[in-house]
Amino acid sequence: MSDFPSSKYDRGKIFAKTGLSVGKNYAKHYLKNLRGSDEQRNSEFYNQTAQQIFSEFTKLRGTALKIAQSLSIDQGLLPDEFSEVMTQAQYSVPPINRSLIRSIIKRELGSYPEVLFESFDTEAIAAASIGQVHTARLKSGEKVAVKIQYPGVRDTIASDLGLAKSLFKRFIKNKEDLNEYFEEIESTLRLETDYIHEGETINRFHNRFSTDRFETPRWIKEYSTERVLTMSFLEGEHLREFLERDPSQEEKNAFGQKIWDFFHEQIRQSDEIHADTHPGNFLLTEDGKLGIIDFGCVKNFPDEFFIDYLLLLPTHLERDLDKIKTLYDRLGVLKGDPETNQTEKKYFEFCLNYGFTFAMPYENDTFNFGNPEYREMIRGYTKNAPIGNEARGNKHFLYSTRVHLGLYHFLMKLGATVETKKSRDIVEERIGEAIV
Query: What digits encode the pLDDT tens for the residues 203-259?
Result: 999 999 988 999 999 999 999 999 999 999 999 999 999 999 999 999 999 999 999
pLDDT tens, position by position, 16-29? 333 334 345 546 65
Please name which of 304, 28, 71, 350 lies closest in space to residue 189, comparing C-alpha atoms.
71
**Domain positions in the chain:** 10-36+302-395, 41-193
Q: What value does the mean pLDDT of the chain take?
A: 81
**In this model, does residue 315 exceed pLDDT 80?**
yes
Percent of the chain with pLDDT over 90: 52
41 confidence band (pLDDT: 50, 70, 90): very low
What local confidence, expressed as pLDDT, does residue 8 receive? 30
Please name which of 285, 280, 295 lies closest in space to residue 254, comparing C-alpha atoms.
285
Tell me phi and psi for residue 354, to 5 degrees: -65, -40
pLDDT tens, position by position, 168-178? 666 566 655 67
**In this model, does residue 332 exceed pLDDT 50?**
yes
Identify residue 279 by its one-letter amino acid code. P
Q: Which residue has the higher pLDDT, 84 or 330?
A: 330
Q: Which residue has the higher pLDDT, 68 or 2?
A: 68
Coil, strand or helix at 197: helix
Please name which of 117, 61, 53 lies closest in space to residue 92, comparing C-alpha atoms.
61
Tell me whether strands 131-137 and 126-127 are parallel, antiparallel or unpaired: antiparallel
What local confidence, expressed as pLDDT, does residue 174 receive? 60
Mean pLDDT, residues 46-68 taken together: 56
What local confidence, expressed as pLDDT, does residue 73 receive? 44
Note the pTM of the prediction, 2 decimals.
Answer: 0.82
What local confidence, expressed as pLDDT, does residue 274 receive? 95
Quick count: other Cβ atoms within 10 Å of Cβ 45?
Answer: 11
Lowest mean pLDDT, pick from 57-66, 141-150, 345-354: 57-66
Most confident listed range (84-88, 107-111, 265-269): 107-111
Identify residue 242 by its one-letter amino acid code. F
Mean pLDDT, residues 351-359 taken together: 91
Q: Which residue has the higher pLDDT, 380 or 48?
A: 380
2 confidence band (pLDDT: 50, 70, 90): very low
